[in-house]
Amino acid sequence: MRIVSFLKHGEERLGLDWNGFIVDANLACQALLTKAGEPDAPRLAAALLPSNAKAFLQGGNRCLMQAQQVLEFIQGEFAGAASAAGAAGAAGVSAAEKMSLAGDAAFMFAPASVRLLSPVPHPGKIVCVGRNYQDHVSELKHDVPTLPVLFAKLSNTIAAHGDVVPFPRVSEELDYEAELAVVIGKRGRYISEAEAMGHVAGYTAFNDITVRQWQYQTPQWLQGKSFDRSGPTGPVLVTADEISDPHNLGIRLWLNDELRQQDNTRHLLFKIPFLIAFISQVMTLEPGDIIATGTPSGVGAAMNPKGFMKAGDVVKVEIEQIGILENKIGAKI
């Protein structure tokens, strides 16, 4: 299942990606319940399939199962129309016309008609892992860590696919870091490695944009990692059941048209179960928390001359089986 968050008429909503359309999960659930004869469909749908990502994740398997039922309902109701829309699209039919062919459902939208948000717009915690690929450790001439190097990005860093990332006026050293992010789906403390993957809701792409000058001004990295909108995330959250092996995903980053980073998550020094177990010794992990697992080699800071980003650049992170997270670097503010 591919889950998105989006803004429609000024309201934050939870969406499901279906055949290239964005389905408002809660409204579609209401339609399903109404068709089944439920007299108070809005109230029941609010409990079964909430309208925002955090409540959805807190609902765990119950919400996942309901979302799957909604997708099956939509498949039965609209599969034929969507196929016709796709065929018509090949003949040059507009997105609006495609939507009418898909049934003009009040809960189904063409992507261009909504604004995508980060899949989890309000994470409780963003825990990042530094120096977690051997080649990245080597390119920056650091020692290989014996335990995970943890740091935080704060909630002000969250940005979505397509958002413009502002260039901080206080530095010229704006760098990129492509990463696989793990989204927690089940609360836990002192989680064992054996149980860790059961706490994962899914995965998304993450760009740990970093102001290098500020990162290294002190021994603590927080200040260089928490500039506004320096944590683009998305475009979708792919549920854990859809990715059989998160330790075998290609990861790439382009700056404009230049491939800067290319690796595979099999090269993570500390694997996801160990990271979850280790972090949960320090803090309780909650649904919606994000763990960014680290970046491979190829960062701008390691290039000679330095390859930092500039205003107007376009940076793209691609994670296999998830998709492409793209952002433009804005003017200095």
Structural domain harbouring 81 = 2-117
Q: What does the pLDDT read at residue 81?
A: 62
202 has a pLDDT exceeding 60: yes
* Domain endpoint, select from 63, 90, 117: 117
- 133 shares a domain with 32: no
101 has a pLDDT exceeding 50: no
Q: What does the pLDDT read at residue 79?
A: 75
Q: In this predicted structure, which of 102-116, 182-196, 244-258, 309-323 has the lowest mean pLDDT?
A: 102-116
Q: What does the pLDDT read at residue 80?
A: 66
- 325 shares a domain with 179: yes
Q: In this predicted structure, which of 24-38, 98-112, 136-150 has the lowest mean pLDDT?
A: 98-112
Number of domains in the chain: 2
Amino acid identity of residue 305, one-letter, is: P
* Domain endpoint, select from 83, 117, 151: 117
Q: What does the pLDDT read at residue 59?
A: 97
Amino acid identity of residue 87, one-letter, is: A
- 150 shares a domain with 102: no
Q: Contact 323/235 with Cβ under 8 angstroms?
A: yes
How does pLDDT run across 274-333, given as a tens digit for each residue?
Answer: 999 999 999 999 999 999 999 999 999 999 999 999 999 999 999 999 999 999 999 998
How does pLDDT run across 250-283, given as a tens digit for each residue?
Answer: 999 999 999 999 999 999 999 999 999 999 999 9
- 141 shares a domain with 62: no
85 has a pLDDT exceeding 70: no
- 152 shares a domain with 81: no
- 300 shares a domain with 165: yes
* Domain endpoint, select from 117, 148, 175: 117
- 136 shares a domain with 41: no
Query: What percentage of the chain carries pLDDT values higher than 90?
Result: 90
- 80 shares a domain with 16: yes
- 131 shares a domain with 110: no
- 58 shares a domain with 14: yes
Alpha-carbon span 9 to 115, nearest angstrom: 10
E-only strand ranges, the chain: 2-8, 11-18, 21-24, 108-109, 115-117, 126-130, 149-153, 158-160, 164-167, 174-175, 178-184, 200-207, 210-211, 231-239, 250-255, 258-264, 290-292, 314-319, 323-332
- 141 shares a domain with 286: yes
Q: What does the pLDDT read at residue 61?
A: 96
How does pLDDT run across 31-65, given as a tens digit for each residue?
Answer: 999 999 999 999 999 999 999 999 999 999 999 99
**What would the two tokens of residue 247 be?**
């330790």
Q: In this predicted structure, which of 111-115, 119-123, 307-311 has the lowest mean pLDDT?
A: 111-115
Q: Contact 225/152 with Cβ under 8 angstroms?
A: yes
- 287 shares a domain with 156: yes
Q: What does the pLDDT read at residue 86?
A: 54
Question: 83-86: long-range contacts at Cβ-Cβ below 8 A with a sequence spacing of 24 or more?
Answer: 86/19, 86/20
> What would the mean pLDDT of 193-203 be, rounded to a whole number?
99
Question: Tell me, what CATH number does 255's domain have?
Answer: 3.90.850.10
Q: What does the pLDDT read at residue 78?
A: 84
Q: What does the pLDDT read at residue 97?
A: 46
